[in-house]
Amino acid sequence: MTISMYSASVPVFIRALGNLAGVLEKGAAYAEAKKIDQSVLLNSRLYPDMFPLARQVQIATDMVKGGAARLAGVEPPPYADTEASFAELQARIAKTMNFLNSLKQEQIEGSEGRAITLANRFGTLEFTGLDYLVGFVLPNLYFHSATAYNILRHCGVELGKQDFLGKR
């Protein structure tokens, strides 16, 4: 049995980002209803050594735009990481979804064996396309999306499991 690299990536990324956008929408509504400055929520974190909410969203979007781009063999679009409001984070998510939707299925299919080299703060990581998708991109997407959800939930935003999972 073979895996469709496109089906296992782009639609999954789009769904997760859509769910994250819904979580952020509830966070923005909560801030407005409770008269809380947005920056309080956007700079909240679960623990002092963890990134705040805004950075969690930035990393989640970076992970999928970079992941899809590398699987497709194209350069990921650069983002400035300057979002300072819920609206700006929503725009970033929308921009990322537009990029994902611009990729063609045939660009990604067959990428499971593609060599992917990624330099990060820990050194150089080398993957096959499949290992990169299932062992790096997807876990990072879900970690940072779940952390964003958890930060808002911890701050009192009424969120439930369906907000994270989305509707089928």
Per residue in 39-49, pLDDT (tens digit) is 999 999 999 99
d(CA 2, CA 72): 18
Contact 159, 24 (CB under 8 A): no
The torsion angles phi and psi of 127, rounded to 5 degrees, stand at -135, 165
Interval 64-84 mean pLDDT: 97
The answer to whether the Cα torsion of 36, 39, 45, 48 is positive or negative is negative
Share of the chain above pLDDT 70, in %: 99
pLDDT band for position 1 (50/70/90)?
Answer: low
pLDDT band for position 3 (50/70/90)?
Answer: confident
- What was the pLDDT predicted at 93? 98
d(CA 45, CA 148): 9
DSSP secondary structure code for residue 77 in this structure: P
> Average per-residue pLDDT in the chain?
96
128-135, long-range: CB < 8 A, 24+ apart: 129/5, 129/70, 129/71, 130/3, 130/5, 132/67, 132/70, 132/71, 133/5, 133/8, 133/9, 133/67, 133/71, 134/8
What global pTM score does this model have? 0.95
Task: Name the one residue in this structure whose structure tokens are 């735009």.
Answer: 65
- What was the pLDDT predicted at 131? 97
- What was the pLDDT predicted at 167? 80
Interval 68-89 mean pLDDT: 97
**pLDDT at residue 166 greater than cutoff 60:** yes
Fold annotation for 10-163: Four Helix Bundle (Hemerythrin (Met), subunit A) (1.20.120)
- What was the pLDDT predicted at 102? 98
Interval 23-40 mean pLDDT: 98
- What was the pLDDT predicted at 43? 98
- What was the pLDDT predicted at 56? 98
Task: Name the one residue in this structure whose structure tokens are 């998510």.
Answer: 93
